[in-house]
Amino acid sequence: MPGVQGAAAVPGARVPRRPGVPRVSSVYLALAGGTGSMLVTAAHPLTGTTGTAGWWLFVEAPALLVLTALAARRAPAAALVPALAISVILLRMIWPGPPSLVLAGCAGWSLGAAGAAMAGLYLRSLDGHRRRAVEQAVRDQRLALARDLHDFVAHDVSGMLVQAQAAQLAPELPAQAADALRRIEAGGHRAMASLDRTVHMLNEPARSHSPGLDGLRELADGFSPAVRVTLAIDADDLSRESSATVYRVVSEALTNVRRHAPGATAVNINVTKNGDNVHVHVDDDGGPPQRRPPRSTGRTGRRGGGFGLAGLAEVLGAAGGSLSAGAHGGGWRVSAVIPE
C-alpha cells in the first residue's frame, strides 16, 4: 500500500473507485444484452422460426450499438459480445437464405458495430488524455510547492546546522552540551536529506529511496537521548508502499510525542503484520502529570496540534485502513491499521 505521498495518497494505497460503479454496470449490461440478443437470434433457426423480427429489431439494434460504444469506452474486450450480436441479428429475417445474402447482411451490420466500437474507443482515448492532463497538472503543482518548501526550509535548517557546528568549536564545552549539539547537527542533516528525498521522489515516481521499515531504527535512535525508545517489528515481506506508510505513521507519532509530551521518558513502537493488514502502535508514558499539555487526537475536531495525524487518518480511512489516537495508561497511544 501507497506511503502517504503529497497531500492525498498512501503509497500503494487502494483508493475506492467511486466512479467505477457505473463503469462496471455498463460493461455487465453490454455483456448481458449482447448474450441475450445472440440467444434470441440462435433460437430462430433452432425453433424453425423464419422471417420474423418486426419493429422490435429497430429498437434492439440501436440499443446494442449504444452498449457496444459504452463497452468499448470502459472495457474494449467486452464490446465484442454486443458487436457480434449486432452482426448476426439480421439472421432472424433472412434465415434460411442464400449464403451470399446471409454473408452480405452480416457484413453490412458489422460495419455499424465497428463504427460504434470506434466511437467508444475514441471516447476512451479522450478520457485517458483528460486523466493524464489532470494528473500532470496536480503533479506540477505539488512539485512547485515542494520546491518552494525545500528552498525556504533548507535555508533555515542550513542556518541551524552552521550554528550547531560553530557551537561545537567552543573551548571547554560540557560533554552533555556537546552531545546535544551533535544530535542537533545529525537531526539537521536528516531533515535536509528528507527534503532532498521528497523533491526527488516527486520527480521519480518509482520512489525507490522512500524510507521504510529499514529506517525505523535510525528514526528511533535519533529521537531524544532523554527518552527510552523501544522498537519491535514483526512484519516481513511488506510492499514498498506499506513500508513507507509505516515509517510515516511512526514519524508523525514521534513528532506528536515531542510536541505534546516533552516530559515523556519512554516510547514503545510495535509493528506487526496480521493477515492482509499491518498494525502500528506507538505508546508513550506521558511524563509527569503537570507537564502534559492537550494532546492531538489526529482528527479534524481535536484540540491543539497540527494536521499530520489528521491527514494520515483521512488518507488511511480512504484506503480501507484507520488511524486513531487517545489516552492509554498514563500516556498516549497512536494506532494505525495499514492495508497491505
Q: Determine contact, residues 339/325, Cβ cutoff 8 Å.
A: no
Region for residue 105 given its phi and psi (left: phi exceeds 0; alpha: psi -120 to 50; beta: otherwise): alpha
Tens digit of each residue's pLDDT (9 = 90 or more) over 105-117: 778 888 888 999 9
pTM for the whole structure: 0.43
Give, in degrees to the nearest 5, the angle at Cα 308 between 303 and 309: 65
Instruction: Outline which parts of the chain fall under CATH 3.30.565.10.
Output: 213-339
Banded model confidence at residue 7, pLDDT cuts 50, 70, 90: very low
Tens digit of each residue's pLDDT (9 = 90 or more) over 114-136: 999 999 999 999 988 988 888 88
Residue 127 has which C-alpha cell?
478520457
6 HSE (CA, 13 A, CB side): 15
Residue 211 has which C-alpha cell?
524510507
CATH of domain 213-339: 3.30.565.10
Tens digit of each residue's pLDDT (9 = 90 or more) over 65-105: 899 999 998 888 888 998 888 888 877 777 776 777 777 87
